[in-house]
């Protein structure tokens, strides 16, 4: 096997073995962080759709 083809095969194997870990990281860490950041910028009472209000929640937090 040529060295270049072997190196490509090793890289693909490494990515294939790391993919489940990165998928778990994205699903259980990154997505909740992004979604909670989005929700912190909304006014939501769990009954209706979230309404975007920007930084007003943070203004209230700092005012108290």
Specify whether the CB–CB gap between 42 and 50 falls below 8 A. yes
Whole-prediction pTM: 0.72
Look at residue 36 in the predicted model and tell me its pLDDT.
Answer: 96
First to last CA, the chain: 68
- Closest by Cα among 28, 53, 22 to 38: 53
Average pLDDT per 10 consecutive residues for the chain, totaling 64 residues: 86 96 97 96 93 94 88
- CA-based angle 25:26:30, to the nearest 5? 95
């Amino acid at each position: 096997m040529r060295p270049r083809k072997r190196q490509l095969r090793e890289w693909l194997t490494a990515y294939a073995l790391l993919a489940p870990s990165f998928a778990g990281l994205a699903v259980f860490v990154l997505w909740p962080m992004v979604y909670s950041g989005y929700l912190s910028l909304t006014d939501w009472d769990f009954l209706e759709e979230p309404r975007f209000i920007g930084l007003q929640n943070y203004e209230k937090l700092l005012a108290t």
